[in-house]
Amino acid sequence: MGFSCGIIGLPNSGKSTIFNALTTLSVPAQPYPFCTIEPNVGIVPVPDERLIKLGSILNPEKITPTTIEFIDIAGLIKDAHKGEGLGNKFLSHIRNVDAIAHVIRCFSTRNIPHVYPDIDPGRDMEIVETEIIISDLEIVEERLDKIERLAKVSKDKSLIERDLLFKIKETLEKGAFVRMETFDENEREVIHSFNLITTKPVFYIANIDEENINNIPMNGLEALIRSKGRRIVYICGKLEQDLASLSDDEKSSYMELYGMKRMSIEEVIKVGYEMLGLITFYTIVGKEMRAWTIPKNTTCAKAAGKIHSDMERGFIKAEVINYEDFVQCGSEHVAREKGMLRIEGRDYIVKDGDILHIRFNV
């Protein structure tokens, strides 16, 4: 799995429409608020040109891309933490994801009701983020209650956790995301167990009008997002949802018509991989060629463990060639003859595009 991504936003901002566009599924996306109640989950293969190219050289029986999971949840509104709308408990469905996509309504279509009479992406963004912060604050306060009781019995560990919880509480009370704070390694590990949404990397999806696809009036949204050091992807949700169900040929002609360079799933994956510092490596085992996702700076033995724990445990060495070199050689035979296949040990840092042949013994 590449990464998992939870989709948040106001009702009728187009979360389910964009979920459909990204996953090519067809979950209900209707012009009334709170159309989504139960979460929708979709797993999508990561489009990978390198994998296709390798497939054309090596002709394996099976090609398995890496995948990404999207989770589309109900809409949040102002005061969701007080029970407005569907409340905020449904956020539990995205507490374990790796990244958050925040969909912001930038299309104005009149017959699709918005929570507010006007389109104001900056305001909408702040409302949703405030609710996310308050929801994390609730978790921190619950945990603090528990820890205070535990601290009466066993002081050592619970006091460290209590101090950390106070530090996080202070950050959230200032209206900031916990992710903006710096923590040491141990603290980060404890914080991870709290499953706070504001510790996760966020990027924004501006859901724009199909009529304004090349001319987007954003009311300073982009500047606001960049000032937070975050990323924004522009998607014309409705159009892409419709395109997602077409054949490749039909899709290409419509994309040309609308001046679209690529489908936004590719952009979303690119942003996600960059934000999370992920890379892809490849294996060819028997008849299967497969792409895998790992964080940058992963050692060869750890990468092998991603495939199977036995491979990490019994790791001996790996034959490695990078995609670029392999394609230049044109075949494994030529790569071997030219001595391009290197032998690397367990501490070798795997590079993006490496093709690994792992030798192990258990």
Ligand X SMILES: Nc1nc2c(ncn2[C@@H]2O[C@H](COP(=O)(O)OP(=O)(O)OP(=O)(O)O)[C@@H](O)[C@H]2O)c(=O)[nH]1
238 makes contact with ligand X (CB under 6 A):
yes
85 makes contact with ligand X (CB under 6 A):
no
Q: Which is nearer to ligand X, 127 or 355 (CB)?
A: 127
* Candidates 107-115, 141-149, 168-176, 352-360; binding stretch for ligand X (CB under 6 A): 107-115
Q: Which is nearer to ligand X, 254 or 360 (CB)?
A: 254
- Residues near 254 by Cβ (< 8 Å), separated by ≥ 6? 243, 246
Burial of 321: CB neighbours in 10 Å, binned 0-12, 13-18, 19+: buried
CB of 271 to ligand X, least distance (A): 19
CB of 206 to ligand X, least distance (A): 10
219 close to 104: Cβ distance less than 8 angstroms: no
207 makes contact with ligand X (CB under 6 A):
yes
Q: From edge to edge, which strands make up the β-sheet containing 4-9?
A: 40-45, 67-72, 4-9, 99-105, 202-207, 231-235
288 close to 60: Cβ distance less than 8 angstroms: yes
* Candidates 11-19, 51-59, 111-119, 209-217; binding stretch for Mg ion (CB under 5 A): 11-19
Q: Site for ligand X (CB under 6 A): which residue of 16, 23, 171, 280? A: 16
- Distance (Å, whole) CA 118 – CA 32: 16
Query: String of b and e for 307-319 (b: at least 16 CB within 10 Å)?
Result: beeebbeebebbb
Query: Quick one: CA dihedral 266, 269, 272, 277, positive or negative?
Result: negative
CB of 39 to ligand X, least distance (A): 10
40 makes contact with ligand X (CB under 6 A):
no
CB of 60 to Mg ion, least distance (A): 39
- For tokens 């090596």, the residue is 58
36 makes contact with ligand X (CB under 6 A):
yes
Burial of 240: CB neighbours in 10 Å, binned 0-12, 13-18, 19+: buried
Torsion of CA 300, 306, 308, 309, to 10 degrees: 80
278 close to 68: Cβ distance less than 8 angstroms: no
Q: Which is nearer to Mg ion, 4 or 16 (CB)?
A: 16
Residue 193: helix, strand or coil by DSSP? coil
Tokens of 101: 């996509």
Q: Which is nearer to ligand X, 38 or 148 (CB)?
A: 38
Contacted entry of ligand X, Mg ion, none for residue 90, CB cut-off 5 to 8 Å set by kind? none
Applying the rule CB under 5 A, the residues between 23 and 52 that interact with Mg ion are 35-36
13 makes contact with ligand X (CB under 6 A):
yes
Q: Which is nearer to Mg ion, 237 or 353 (CB)?
A: 237
* Candidates 172-180, 231-239, 281-289, 339-347; binding stretch for ligand X (CB under 6 A): 231-239
For ligand X, how many residues bind (rule: CB under 6 A)? 26
- Distance (Å, whole) CA 280 – CA 270: 12
Q: Which is nearer to Mg ion, 12 or 171 (CB)?
A: 12
Tell me, residue by residue from 110 to 139, as one string, x for binding to ligand X by CB under 6 A and - for no binding.
Answer: --x---------------------------
- Distance (Å, whole) CA 32 – CA 111: 10
From residue 315, alpha-carbon distances to 266, 282, 347 in Å are: 34, 17, 11
Contacted entry of Mg ion, ligand X, none for residue 51, CB cut-off 5 to 8 Å set by kind? none
CB of 213 to ligand X, least distance (A): 10
Point out which residues bind ligand X (CB under 6 A): 9, 11-17, 29-31, 33-36, 74-75, 107, 109, 112, 207, 209-210, 236-238
Point out which residues bind Mg ion (CB under 5 A): 15-16, 35-36
